[in-house]
A = this chain, B = another copy of it.
Amino acid sequence: MTIDRRAAILAAAADLIREKGVAAVRTRDVTARAGVGIGLLNHYFKWNELRALAAAQALWAEIDRVVPDAPAPDRQLDVFLSRAFGEDADPLWRLWIEVTDLAMSDPDMARAAEGCAEGMVNELAAILEQGAAGHLWHCPVPHAAALRILAFHDGLVGFVLTGLPKVERADAAAHLKRFVALELGLPQQNDHVPSRLV
């Protein structure tokens, strides 16, 4: 039995996408990294398919790297909020922006990224639901609340990463914390939200 070179090609593509972004990766880069001939890539994949599968795999890998487990829902939420605009998470969100942009015109990409998007919402919704069940906060419709929080976060992340418009990371984090507190009926912690922002 030979090594599974199909999987090697997919893994190489995902690695390269994490390193250079989706748009910058070429078929030749992938086959070189995987240590196989150019022809083999086209034997197993069409480039659009491979790129979409690899991008989704890269997204999951970044999500796993950025969103670690925590014991209790309130700790999980703290971790989410404190890492939301950290530079550690930049690769994830750069990739996310690129993938969603491509998904507008590439059906393969749209299909492949579907699971990631739903996964992110569901993961946050689960945290919110657990916290609500444990009376840590109030959250009648966790899925909808998760959607809102992620939408706000997504928008702010775009601002921070593109500078359109220019927003400081710390300000973005403060905005998000304030929104989440509002959303969950938690008391505002004014040390986190400078009066210049609200």
Contacts and interface: CB of A to CB of B under 8 A. Distances in A.
A interface SS class: helix
Given A97-B104, A103-B162, A114-B165, 18 more contacts: A21-B105, A97-B100, A98-B104, A99-B164, A100-B158, A101-B101, A110-B162, A110-B163, A114-B163, A114-B166, A145-B198, A147-B167, A151-B156, A152-B155, A154-B154, A154-B158, A154-B159, A158-B158
Contact of A144 (B21, B103, B166, B196): B196
A140 interface: yes
Considering the complex of A and B, which 8 residue pairs feature the smallest CB-CB distances, nearest first? A151-B155, A155-B155, A154-B155, A117-B164, A117-B165, A101-B101, A100-B162, A151-B156
Interface of A: 21, 23, 94, 97-101, 103-105, 110, 113-114, 116-118, 120-121, 140-141, 144-145, 147-148, 150-156, 158-159, 161-167, 175, 179, 182, 195-198
